[in-house]
Amino acid sequence: MTQTISCHGVARRYGSHLAVDQVSFEVHGPSVTGLLGRNGAGKTTLLRLLAGQELPSAGQVRVLGGDPAGADALARQIVLVREDQAFPDFKVGDALRAAGWSYPRWDHKLADALVSDFDLPSSRQVKKLSRGMRSALGIVIGLAAQAPVTLFDEPYAGLDATARRLFYDRLLADYTEHPRTVVVSTHLIDEIADLLERVLVIDRGHIALDAPADGLRGSATAVSGPAPAVAVFVSGRTTWEHRTVGPLASATVADMLDATDQARARQLHLSVAPLSLQEVLVHATRPDRAHQAERVGS
């Protein structure tokens, strides 16, 4: 498969603050990657670096084999939809027209369909749109551009649940029809979990986790029940969290449980549940686990 994105030792410094530090990863061929992390972790900076809107202080960013800030022909292959995109004094229709001129594979039909799906008023000034409507405009541009490298940064800030569902459905349908490299940064992890093939977790500018989404789901298990039974069960296992409240306890073990484990848990009257992607991420990026990078299943 062809390499579409490659970052090698990439850093971006703002004064004394390292927004992105020593980031290295590659994306090959068509895929949907989730870029996850806490507020201020460096997600937006990383996406801007990939789109050539930001320039690295160190390291090398390559998209489709070239410098994303280097040539027009390459720049037209990349679309970045930003939560904080600033627009000139444009109406919605103007913004879409400008985007249509810019992207060689722009899909007018899809754009029109999305505009009516999201109920976007074409003749309204972009600055008069609500936050959710503005997000919808970004989504229309991001999907209709049909760019080989499509980057979404928090694409659905302010969008209601119905509109978010619409975005997932459209993204999936469009991706199935035109496979390409998609990177989505988001906080609503479990909503989009089913779409993701791969998960990149960024924490304080570092890649904290880089794993296939399937390997991550259920890669940790929550165990709860009588305190002594939990203590027996988790002994000898990597435990992320162990909490005791009166006679009861709960713990998180960084393991996928096999049949023997399951049977043993039942014997001890414990309830077990695999952690969702979101819960795995919360554990991976807790302050007390900072800089403890790990790679799961890759």
Partner 1 sequence: MRTWLSVARYHLLQRLNYLVLPWAVLAFAFAVNLAIFASLHASGAGTGGSRYYTGSVATIFIFWFIAGLLTTTRSLPFGLALGVTRRTYYLGSVGLGTALAVAYGLGLTLLQVIERASSGWGLNMHFFRVPYILDGPWYLTWLSAFVGLALLYCYAMWFGLVYRRWDLLGLLSFIAVQVVVIGAGALAATWSHGWHSIDHFFTTISAAGLTGVLAGITAALVVGGLSTVRRLTV
The residues binding partner 1 (CB under 8 A) are: 48, 51-55, 69-72, 75-80, 82, 85-90, 94-95, 97-99, 101-103, 147
**Looking at beta carbons only, is 50 or 229 nearer to partner 1?**
50
Cα–Cα dist 162/36, whole Å: 22
In the complex, least distance from residue 211 CB atom to partner 1, rounded to whole angstroms: 30
**Which of 178, 208, 206 is closest to 281 using CA atoms?**
208
Answer yes or no: are the C-beta atoms of 160 and 119 closer than 8 Å: no
In the complex, least distance from residue 178 CB atom to partner 1, rounded to whole angstroms: 17
**Looking at beta carbons only, is 151 or 265 nearer to partner 1?**
151
> DSSP secondary-structure letter at 270?
-
The residues near 238 (Cβ < 8 Å, ≥ 6 apart) are 253, 254, 255
> DSSP secondary-structure letter at 125?
B
In the complex, least distance from residue 70 CB atom to partner 1, rounded to whole angstroms: 7
Cα–Cα dist 208/292, whole Å: 7
**Looking at beta carbons only, is 147 or 159 nearer to partner 1?**
147
H or E element, residue 51: none
The residues near 223 (Cβ < 8 Å, ≥ 6 apart) are 230, 233, 234, 250, 251, 252, 253, 265, 270, 271, 272
For residue 115, list its beta bridge partners. none
Cα–Cα dist 11/147, whole Å: 25
In the complex, least distance from residue 206 CB atom to partner 1, rounded to whole angstroms: 21
Beta strands in 29-159 (DSSP E): 31-36, 58-63, 78-81, 149-153
Cα–Cα dist 154/177, whole Å: 23
> DSSP secondary-structure letter at 16?
T
**Looking at beta carbons only, is 77 or 221 nearer to partner 1?**
77
Please report, as a single letter, which amino acid is at residue 242.
Answer: H
In the complex, least distance from residue 106 CB atom to partner 1, rounded to whole angstroms: 10
In the complex, least distance from residue 268 CB atom to partner 1, rounded to whole angstroms: 56
**Looking at beta carbons only, is 35 or 78 nearer to partner 1?**
78
**Looking at beta carbons only, is 53 or 239 nearer to partner 1?**
53
**Looking at beta carbons only, is 88 or 236 nearer to partner 1?**
88
In the complex, least distance from residue 205 CB atom to partner 1, rounded to whole angstroms: 17
